[in-house]
Every structure is written in structure tokens, then in C-alpha cells.
Amino acid sequence: MPEFHAATALLPTGWAAQVRIAADAAGTITAVTPDQPAGALPRLSGVVLPGVPNLHSHAFQRAMAGATERRGAGGQDSFWTWRETMYRFLDRLGPEEAEAIAAQLQVELLEWGFTSLAEFHYLHHQPDGTPYAEPAEMVLRNLAAARRTGMGLTLLPVLYRHGGIFGQPPAPGQRRFLNELDGWQRILAACRAATAGDPHSATGMAPHSLRAVTPEMLRAVAAEPGPLHIHIAEQPREVAECLAATGARPVQWLLANLPVDARWCLVHATHMTAEEATALARSGAIAGLCPSTEASLGDGFFPLAEYLAAGGGFGVGTDSHVGISARDELRLLETGQRLLRQARAIAASEALPNPGRFLLEAALAGGAAAMGRPVGAIAPGLRCDLIELDPDHPTLIGLDGDALLDGWVFSGQHNPIRTVIAGGRRVVEAGRHLAREQVFGEYRRAMRRLLE
């Protein structure tokens, strides 16, 4: 059975020293005992943190990152012009390429501290829109990748039918995404069958957005059990369209018309009024924030201060994967708020005055809720996901406790993560994933095929 000895570890009760961490054969923690001698146990001599959940991913977009930055003819580039570029990229992407991209992404995420991933997957069909013989072929390629890399995974098969609020016709570039409710339910059933009994994976649901499903579809999806994620209020245009169609703003409409509670994750939720932010916080739902992607697409700033004041929970994701580091998502979330408000330490409290600790603990709790899986802390009954920071790294040397977490989040560009344990299995040593070379070779070949 896997066992580890951590010189220093962040537990739910706070910092602890000389911690024995035991897990079972399935990779679930069975005991956490501070003040224990190391003996012959494998040693994690640095600072050990829980692995961070990544609550929002479109894995295939990893292959596009950095390739959509050129200014367009009118100089009016936005999320909407980026989306047209994304549609064109999809014309040649098949199952083998999708799996290679997903595995490369997961290796990178694991090296940078993410140990669980929620894959919000809407690329379902062949390039002409015809379903594969196995309708869930593309989404299940993410699971195949995760079983090779060690990434914990929550599959979120996406229901996507329309091109605007509510029931507008889809664009030609969306043909690979589209399903009627019954077709989506077949994909959902296949995902549930594939993850059943697997301690490292689970299945939830993802109605893409109010732009992509009707209210009737949304209510049918909400009747299903499990975590439920939805894009919402990412762009001002979406807010304007929702107001024109319904007389309400997107978050306002959703909270008034669906039983939004703790199993929901509202991804982005960027453009909210103070009243919406307070209502969302009180619903118990998680705000799924993706700072690097939101910055890349020019989305805007989430109303973090108002949301936190109302007791709201949040987690972070990497969405389009222009960024792949847990630390950097936390850093950009806080520093973006500093730019907006011309103040410091926005994500902090009297109880947790260090923003590094505040951000990490919030992302752990919110990410775990959004995963619908037992992750997010070093505690019995949870998946044994550990990241070890090197205390002799230049950004951390001389720091300990909460000050060390501030150093990790807010200092430097190099990666101080030395070891990663995922599901009780060592997957990263000396900062490198053990399958890095093999996975990268497959990714390189896949990209060459796509770019021929």
C-alpha cells in the first residue's frame, strides 16, 4: 500500500510536521498522522500541499494556444473572432489527435500542480457533423489519456444544440458539437459506464450555455444526478442577448428559473451585477474562474470582492490552456483584482491574511465541490493527491508556512514543484512527469498531422 512521509504538510487543520500519509491500493488516503518518524517510508522532504483541482478544461484547445493572437483586419478582435478561428482549427482533428493532445495537456498540468481535471467536452462528432460509431468516442479519449498520465478526471459531456439565446440556429462551425437531448443522453450514459467503479474518475453534465440549449433542455439536464457545469455571462454581448430575449441577465435568469445549488459550477460568470454576485454566492454554487483564458480573450474582471463578501466559493481552471500552472491562475486572479481596484490583498481575510493561503484553500474547496469527487485536501477518505514544493528553490528559500505559499503564488516564473503524487502514485519526479518523453512524442506526431 502507498505510504509517504512529509516533512511539512498543509492539512485541513493547518500546518503539520513529520506527517505519515497512508493510502490503500485504490489511491485513497486511509490515515494522516503528524509527528511520526520517517523510518523507511518514502520521504517528501519539502513542503507538501494537496493537489489542486482544475475545474474547467477544453483539452483540444491546448493545441491552439498561442496560435490565435494575430490582429484581424478591422482591429476589433474579441472572444467572438477567436471563436471563428477555433472553428477552423477543428476541421482535421480526429480521435487519435484528441487523445494525444489531452495526454500532453495532462502531463503539463500535473507538472504544475493540478492533479484533478474537469473536462468540459463538446467536440463530439466527425468534421462533417456525423456521429462516430461510438457517439462518446471523443470525450472518452480524455479518459484514456488520464489513465496513462495519472490525472484524476471528471468527464463533463456537453449538451450543445443552438447558436444563440434561446433556440437560435447554430453556425456551420458548430456542427461537430451539436446533439439533440436524446443523442447527448447516449453520450452521458457511455461516460457513466466508463467511469463506474473507477476511484480516479467520475461523470457530470454540462449544458454548454444559455446560448446553446433551450430552457426545456436545461431543465432536463438539471434533473440528472451529479455535478453540473455551465458557461455563463462570459461576454457583454451574451448579457445583452439574454436581456433582449428574456428581460433578465444570464445569472439572474438562471437563479430564478433553475434549482441552482452546491452541485452547480457557473463558469466565468464575469459580467454580474452586485446583486447577482450576492445571489450566486448565497446559492452555494461554485464560480469557475479561468483567469489566464479570461485575460487572453478580453473577457473582463470577475467581481471577486463583492462575491467573497457574500461568502461565495470559487475554484480555478485553465479553460483554453494559454496557461497551465495552478500557481499562475491564482496569481493572475489576485493581481488582476489589484489592477482593477488599485489595492492589494483582495483575496484575503482576517483569518487568512496571506493571499497565497487564502487563494489556495478556496481553490481546493471550490474545485473539489465542482469535481464531484473526493479530492482537495490531505485527509482520510480523499484521493491521495500531493504536490511537494522544493523549499530550496530561489522563490521559496528562507520562507515557511503561509509566507512560503505567498512566495509560491506571487514570486518568480520557474516551477518549484519537485514531486507529484496522483492517486497514491508518483507521477512527477524532479519536476518531470515520468511519461513526459513518450507523451510528447505522440503529441508532436499528432500536431504534424494536423499542420500538414
Domains defined along the chain, listed by start: 3-49+381-440 (2.30.40.10), 51-371 (3.20.20.140)
Query: For the chain, give me the number of helices (H) and strands (E)?
Result: 14, 17
Task: Give the per-residue pLDDT at 173.
Answer: 82
Euclidean distance between CA atoms 187 and 179, whole angstroms:
10
Q: How confident is the model at residue 328 (pLDDT cuts 50, 70, 90)?
A: very high
Task: Give the per-residue pLDDT at 65.
Answer: 72
What residues contact residue 314 under an 8 Å CB cut-off, 6+ apart? Answer: 286, 287, 288, 289, 304, 307, 362, 363, 366
Task: Give the per-residue pLDDT at 438.
Answer: 98
- Mark residue 129 as left, alpha or beta (left: phi above 0; alpha: psi -120 to 50; beta: remaining): left
C-alpha distances out from residue 64 to 61, 325, 364, 447, Å: 5, 17, 28, 10
Q: How confident is the model at residue 368 (pLDDT cuts 50, 70, 90)?
A: very high
Task: Give the per-residue pLDDT at 77.
Answer: 60
Task: Give the per-residue pLDDT at 166.
Answer: 81
- Over the stretch 62-102, which tens digit does the pLDDT of each residue have? 988 766 666 766 666 665 455 566 666 778 899 999 999 99
Task: Give the per-residue pLDDT at 43.
Answer: 97
* Cβ neighbours of 71 (radius 10 Å): 9
Q: How confident is the model at residue 451 (pLDDT cuts 50, 70, 90)?
A: confident
Task: Give the per-residue pLDDT at 387.
Answer: 98
* Structural element, H or E, at residue 388: strand 386-389
- Over the stretch 126-143, which tens digit does the pLDDT of each residue have? 999 999 999 999 999 999
Q: How confident is the model at residue 229 (pLDDT cuts 50, 70, 90)?
A: very high
Mean pLDDT of the 403-422 span: 97
Which residue reads 466559493 in cell numbers?
Answer: 313
Mean pLDDT of the 48-68 span: 90
Euclidean distance between CA atoms 25 and 13, whole angstroms:
26
Active site residues: 268, 319
